Structure 1
Amino acid sequence: MKAFYIRALSYSVGLIIVSFGVALTILANLGAGPWDALNVGLAHLTPFSVGNWVIIVGVILIIVNALLTKSKPVLVSLLSIFIVGIFIDFWLLVVFPTFYVQELILQVVMMIFGIVVLAFGASLYMQAEFALIPIDGFMFAIRDVLGVKLMVAKTIGELTALTAAFLVGGPIGIGTLLVTFLIGPLIQLFFPQWQKRINWKTVQYEKG
């Protein structure tokens, strides 16, 4: 039971960290990550918020992932997109509603920090082995279907989203390219480190 609580904690905290990283990359105003640029672009075209579109796009991806893997839709993934969608709106609309950075150096620092935070959180929440964010489920589906490394699968998924973001007029810039090509390697870097820590702690609690 203690092991379950450790997993639940890593899952929930990881998703909140992911949402914070996403908010930072959007607020850096250098071009959001592909998926986030898509959600921001759609938010500008509709009365729905960025967080709302995180949920809507997530539902679509749940269906796509099921088709790619020829399996049933992972409906429990709805939990992850609701958490991330709600907290992205929390950071953007409640915590930083009027935040704006003009200095280029600060924008770059914020963007890079946001990318690191995003990858850090994603690597943490995936350790729980609960429901994946549909975007990450898409990454694993691509990996399994094409037989490529996780880093390559993530990059393919980001490029797919980039195309869609361009079509809806999402904020695309140098920051978008940084997310596209850095998020995969960073997850590849953080994932095994968290895996060692979470597994070790879980074993310790189970023995206790």
Structure 2
Amino acid sequence: MKIRVFFYLIGLFFMGLGVTFTIKANLGAGAWDALNVGLSKVIGLTVGSWVFVIGVILMFINAFITKGKPKFLAIITILLIGFFVDFWMLVVFKNMFLDGMVKQVVSLLLGIFFIALGVSMYLQTKFPANPIDQLMISLHERFSLNFMVAKTIGEVVALILAFIFQGPIGIGTIIITFLIGPIIQMFSKPVSARYDLLLKR
């Protein structure tokens, strides 16, 4: 159980860090994060608060896709993700401003790395998934899509919504939209192998 909780919490911790790096890169955030930032600027509330609100909405959408019941335990996951995002954004990196394209690109790439690693880690635990990642799983289960395709579909939908709400869309958004799925796929096997090895100890 300790290993499961460790992977779960560290995975969400890394996700929050990755989201912050992609936003701070100022090259365009990931589609869902761009949506949350846009909603934060247009309506108010923190980015982390919108992570929670959008997550709750997606819980019901996922239930509709799978023709099942909403996974209400996922509220714990989205609360933690929202908390970690606000922790990194408003406490640790509140005054971080990147000057120069090299620093921005490095920040973007670090963000993609940590998001993909975080998703791969916490999904191993079988604890309630972030509704955004559950959308990927729901599409995978309902339509037999691989994770790369399912993740990309969700990202494109979020990209359209982010555009509507004037979120920070840029070249970084496009890069994240089409790279995050394949990188999660790439991390899945080695992370799963490490997780299984630790469980056997």
- For the aligned pair, the TM-score class normalised by the smaller chain equals over 0.9
Counterparts of 2:104 and 2:194 in 1: how far apart (Å)? 32
Unaligned runs of 5+ in 2: none
- Counterpart of 2:127 (choices 117, 125, 130) is 130
Using the TM superposition, name which of 69-78 and 94-103 deviates more.
Answer: 94-103
Alignment of 1:93-108 (within 5 A): 93-108=90-105
Cα shift at 1:178: 1.0
Counterpart code for 1:8: V
SS class of match (1:128): coil
Which structure has the greater CA radius of gyration? 1
Counterparts of 1:63 and 1:118 in 2: how far apart (Å)? 24
Counterparts of 2:6 and 2:184 in 1: how far apart (Å)? 19
Tell me what 1:72 maps to.
Answer: 69
TM-score (norm 2): 0.98
Alignment of 1:173-192 (within 5 A): 173-192=170-189
Cα shift at 1:91: 0.7
Cα shift at 1:203: 1.6
Tell me what 1:36 maps to.
Answer: 33
Counterparts of 1:36 and 1:48 in 2: how far apart (Å)? 14
TM-score (norm 1): 0.95
- Counterpart of 2:5 (choices 1, 4, 8) is 8
Counterpart code for 2:75: L
1:170 aligns with 2:170: no
SS class of match (1:132): coil
Counterpart code for 2:111: G
Q: Between the two proteins, what is the percent identity of the paired residues? A: 45
Unaligned runs of 5+ in 1: none
- Counterpart of 2:22 (choices 22, 25, 35) is 25
Counterparts of 2:39 and 2:187 in 1: how far apart (Å)? 31
Counterparts of 2:44 and 2:134 in 1: how far apart (Å)? 27
- Counterpart of 1:157 (choices 146, 154, 157) is 154
SS class of match (1:148): coil
Cα shift at 1:96: 1.2
Counterpart code for 1:189: M
Cα shift at 1:102: 2.0
Counterparts of 2:147 and 2:92 in 1: how far apart (Å)? 33
